[in-house]
Chains A and B, each alone.
Chain A
Amino acid sequence: MGLLAYGDTGWGDELFFATLMTIAVAAAAMFIGFFLAAIFATLKLSKFKVLNLIGSFYTTVFRGVPELLVIYLFFFGGSGAVMYVAKIFGYDGYIEINAFITGAVSIGVISGAYSTEVFRGAIQSINKGQFEASHVLGFKKKIYYYKIIIPQMLRLALPNISNVWQITLKDTSLISVTGLVEIMRMSYIAAGSTRDPLFFYSFAAVLYLFLTFLSMQLFNKLEKHYSKGY
């Protein structure tokens, strides 16, 4: 157990910070995913077939292709793409894309594909009557979206969002190729240095289980809160 000591002799503090990093990347990825999901869910619900296809293309590709492949795409190709875009705008200088961004974006794009389906499903299952009632009552589109539809959508979507969060959290274990020091990478370093892979990978499993447990508690609380009054 001395291996886990906090401070110079043990790996305890490194693993603690690595865990925080895992949470940070996963949160950033979820956030990026929500941003993308808002766009693509709208596309999928649109009246125009072309927009629907674009939306479906996104969800099909990023839920169907293995995560590692997506991560390689962004890691090996990411900076090239960003610099290409920047060049178009006339910027030819030094662009640094750090490991955190690369990791968060690659997992975020995948997370977004799942979230898109969740948002779409939630909006579609909101009772049509709600839309009609709001219209009849003369609510302006913006108001009824924010005050009526979206809260309901969140309530319906919450259990599924919890699932997407679990997936996103576990997917962060795959971004070690970018060099970001999250749980998996830290365990890898510790295992290599101490030649005790069994201990450190098992401990990594414990850390993930702990995060899973915390997440479940958090989402249970959220679900209770949003179910009030129904």
Chain B
Amino acid sequence: MDLMIESLPKLLNATKLTIELTLLSLFFGIFVGVFFAILRTSKNKFFYYIAYYYSYIFRGTPLLVQIFIIYFGLGQVEWIRESFLWIVLKEPYSCAILAFTLNTGAYSSEIFRSAFETINKGVLEAAEGLGLNKLHTFFKIKLPIAIKQSLPAYGNEMILMLKGTSLASTVTLLDLTGVAKYIISTTFRPVEVFIVAGSIYLIMTFIIHNFIKYLEKKFSYQQ
């Protein structure tokens, strides 16, 4: 019991890193996701296949492999160490965000793509009939509807990303999971540490879940 209280400050301190990694990766991931979703719906075969294979590779391989390739793999390549890429690839922090962003970007692109595709054709025709141009249609009609449609699935993705940041601990970063593991391996009391660290993750999951519910309500007024 006292271990749980003792370890709490260290774990909470590490939670800051976990939150940072999650938010930054999700933020950049949205841009990547929208970009590839648009490519996927494009008529151009080249763009379509780039998006298709990007999604296939990043969803078909474990996140651990992706982060190892970026951090350990690329880190051993001489010419990368001497190029400008090293600014990003030198630090485990940026390597982790890069890996997480690419990963969530792939899953997000699938979510956005399916949202774009299921937008009722009727709505689009109405927009055309009203004389709205392509850009107008995109921002005022397509995007809000797509956002509303994506919310449940994207909420799920946000939780998956939160769990994904635990892999930062495999490349030296001391996030919540990394510190939890350290405490477990020095005190040999895994159950207590699991309860505390696990609860912190569940609280964050709960917050994300309710945030999405709130957004769903907000966006449904637009209808």
Contacts and interface: CB of A to CB of B under 8 A. Distances in A.
A touches B in complex, CB < 8 A: yes
Interface of A: 60-61, 64-70, 72-73, 75-77, 166, 170-171, 173-174, 184, 191, 195-198, 201-202, 204-205, 208-209, 212-213
A197 B166 CA distance: 22
Contacts of A69: 166, 177, 180, 194, 197-198, 201
Range class of the B interface residue count: 35 or more
Contacts of A198: 69, 72-74, 76-77
26 contacts: A61-B202, A64-B201, A64-B202, A64-B205, A65-B194, A65-B197, A65-B202, A66-B164, A67-B163, A69-B177, A69-B198, A73-B190, A76-B185, A76-B190, A170-B61, A174-B64, A184-B64, A196-B76, A197-B75, A198-B69, A198-B72, A198-B77, A201-B65, A205-B69, A208-B61, A209-B57
Given A69-B166, A69-B201, A76-B190, 16 more contacts: A64-B159, A64-B198, A64-B202, A65-B202, A66-B201, A69-B180, A70-B194, A72-B181, A73-B194, A76-B184, A173-B64, A184-B64, A196-B76, A197-B75, A201-B73, A209-B61
Interface string B162-204: 0111110100000001001100110010110010011001100
Nearest to A76: B190
B68 interface: yes
B120 to A, nearest CB: 24
A68 B74 contact: no
Contacts of A208: 60-62, 65
B191 A77 contact: yes
Contacts of A61: 198, 202
Contacts of A77: 190-191, 194
B218 to A, nearest CB: 24
Contacts of A174: 62, 64
Given A64-B205, A77-B190, A198-B74, A72 B184 contact: yes
Contacts of B181: 68, 72
Nearest to A202: B69
Nearest to B67: A201
Contact of B62 (A65, A75, A173): A173
B72 to A, nearest CB: 4
A159 to B, nearest CB: 14
A99 B9 CA distance: 33
